[in-house]
Every structure is written in structure tokens, then in C-alpha cells.
């Protein structure tokens, strides 16, 4: 992937999650010197600041099946517009979350400019609809919305083709999510697949899926995909996740593919972190995705 100008965008939103704190994720990642470390790779980096998002205490929850959907959708539309503008200016967007509902904005913005596939790295499927979600938390619904399902208020660009979507690292799915993955034709790789096959062939397959007939892919990386022993500062930790090196391998292979169009890292929760350890790891992973090599 050739070097290109980079645009950093923060999306300090925690409306989609049941546990507070991920709205501070963009600040924590910036405190870990993201911009300076990217410049150290020789990249032209512009930090565009944060998308404006209201505080959770200042707005009503709304329908219990889609908690805070309206302010989440408004924020995602703002994010989509700014991502599309950055792409139009020739910059590679790096979006910092915030909870994973912001992916609806990032991907919608990319889809306005490119034919885009998606590689979704996550412990969870995020493919619930309001009718299948056991919690009503919208950060479990963005992928469903991006595929043209409910809640459609989150979608502000062309919907994704399920044949160009790959989920990697799954280990905690709701019954409705299992059904949607099978019925909607989304390719999913669980941690059992990683255990049995090894990560490299899985990432190679995910890259083919997301790149087939597209201009390239968006990589959406939820930090809870990593084992909580390595990344403790996440809102919804689940034992048995990716190792430190496995997480880096995904990013290194994404860079080597030359097809990555944009990147987001979400669900860093500094309230639950230890000495900003998870945010620092997020920066390390972004560096690997942008070309940092061991040798």
C-alpha cells in the first residue's frame, strides 16, 4: 500500500454501549502519541479533531429496543460526511472510537466515495437488529444496518454487499446474530477457526472476500477482539481472544495487501484500562496497519 496523506478523526460516542467510558477513547489514543508516531513513519498526518457528539446525560434514551438511536444516527451522519470529505481530499481516514456504532458512520462515508468491502475484527458480531438484540444497545447493531437491515436510521450511504463482508475473531454471539450470519450470507471466522486453521489463512480469505469486485476494504477493529489479558481497557471483554502477535499480524497483512482504504479502532475504555495500556496497543496496531515493520 503506497504511502498517502493520513487524516485522523475522533468519534467520542458512548451512547451505543451499556458501559460508560469509551467516549474518552479518542483522547486516550491521542495521549499515546498517535500523530507523532505516524509522522515517525514518514507519513503526512492531519488530525481533524473530533466529530461533535452530545453527552449521554443531555438526551433521552428513547425506545428501549434502540437506546439513544437518534443522537447516534445524527453523530454517524456527521462522521460519514467528514470521512467522505477526507477521502475526497485524498487522505486515508483513521477513525478513533468511541463505541462500535460509529462504524455505521465511517463505512457510510467510505461507501459514498468507493465500492468498499469490510473486514470486521471483533469478539462480537454487531449484527443484531432491534428485534433480536437482548440489550437494545446500538453498538451491537451497526453491521446489520450497514447491510441494509434495521436500524436503517444508521445507514447514510450505499448498503454493503454481504458477499464483501468478513468477520474475524468472533467468540460471543447472540442467537439472533448466529441466525443473521447464516441467513444473510456473511462470512464469519470464530476463534475456533483461528485455533484450528491458524490466523494467516483466515486473514488471506477475509482479504479476498472484502476485495473481490471492490475498490478495496475498510478495516474495523474492535479492541475487545484481543484477549483482555493483553487489552484490559475495553467495555465488553471476553476471555479467549486474539493474542498480541495475532492482532499485529492482521494489521501487517492488511497493509501488505495494498487494498486497505480506511481504518477505525474502537471500544478503548480508559476507565477500565491500566496505565493507558490498551490505548498504547491501539496505536501500535495502527502503526502496523500503516506500514511499520519489524525488519
The tens digit of pLDDT for each residue in 144-173 reads: 999 999 999 999 999 999 999 999 999 999
Compute the CA torsion angle 193, 199, 204, 210 (nearest 10 deg).
60
pLDDT of residue 2: 47
Its sign, for the CA torsion 258, 181, 100, 196, is: negative
Tell me what pLDDT residue 3 has: 67
Q: Coil, helix or strand for 214? A: coil
Q: What is the three-class DSSP state of 149?
A: coil
Q: Bridge partners of 167?
A: 120, 188
d(CA 20, CA 235): 8
Q: What is the pLDDT of residues 71-125, one digit of tens each?
A: 999 999 999 999 999 999 999 999 999 999 999 999 999 999 999 999 999 999 9
Q: What is the mean pLDDT of the chain?
A: 97
- pLDDT for the residue numbered 177: 98
Q: pTM value? A: 0.98
Tell me the mean pLDDT in the region 262-281. 98
What domains appear along the chain, each with residue ranges and CATH number? 6-289 (3.40.800.10)
Closest CA to 139 of 235, 243, 51: 235
Over residues 116-136, mean pLDDT: 98
d(CA 214, CA 164): 8
Which residues are identified as catalytic? 100, 122, 124, 126, 139, 222, 224, 267
Amino acid at each position: 500500500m503506497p504511502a498517502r496523506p493520513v487524516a485522523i478523526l475522533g468519534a467520542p460516542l458512548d451512547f451505543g454501549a451499556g458501559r460508560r467510558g469509551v467516549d474518552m477513547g479518542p483522547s486516550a489514543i491521542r495521549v499515546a502519541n498517535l500523530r507523532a508516531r505516524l509522522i515517525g513513519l514518514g507519513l503526512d498526518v492531519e488530525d481533524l479533531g473530533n466529530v461533535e457528539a452530545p453527552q449521554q446525560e443531555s438526551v433521552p434514551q428513547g425506545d428501549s429496543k434502540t437506546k439513544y438511536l437518534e443522537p447516534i444516527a445524527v453523530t454517524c451522519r456527521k462522521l460519514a460526511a467528514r470521512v467522505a470529505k477526507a477521502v475526497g481530499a485524498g487522505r486515508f481516514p483513521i477513525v478513533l472510537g468511541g463505541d462500535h456504532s460509529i462504524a455505521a458512520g465511517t463505512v457510510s462515508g467510505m461507501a459514498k466515495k468507493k465500492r468498499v468491502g469490510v473486514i470486521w475484527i471483533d469478539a462480537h458480531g454487531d449484527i443484531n437488529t432491534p428485534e433480536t438484540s437482548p440489550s437494545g444497545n446500538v453498538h451491537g447493531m451497526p453491521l446489520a444496518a450497514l447491510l441494509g437491515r434495521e436500524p436503517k436510521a444508521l445507514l447514510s450511504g450505499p448498503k454493503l454487499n454481504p458477499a464483501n463482508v468478513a468477520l474475524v475473531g468472533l467468540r460471543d454471539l447472540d442467537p439472533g446474530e448466529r441466525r443473521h450470519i447464516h441467513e444473510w450470507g456473511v462470512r464469519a471466522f470464530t476463534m475456533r477457526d483461528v485455533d484450528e486453521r491458524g490466523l494467516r489463512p483466515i486473514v488471506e480469505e477475509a482479504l479476498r472476500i472484502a476485495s473481490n469486485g471492490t475498490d478495496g476494504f475498510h478495516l474495523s477493529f474492535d479492541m475487545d477482539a484481543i484477549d483482555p489479558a493483553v487489552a484490559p481497557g475495553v467495555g465488553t471483554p471476553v476471555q479467549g481472544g486474539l493474542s498480541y502477535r495475532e492482532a499485529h499480524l492482521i494489521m501487517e497483512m492488511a497493509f501488505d495487501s495494498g487494498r486497505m482504504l480506511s481504518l477505525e479502532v474502537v471500544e478503548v475504555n480508559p476507565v477500565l484500562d491500566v496505565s493507558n495500556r490498551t490505548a498504547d496497543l491501539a496505536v501500535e496496531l495502527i502503526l502496523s496497519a500503516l506500514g511499520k515493520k519489524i525488519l
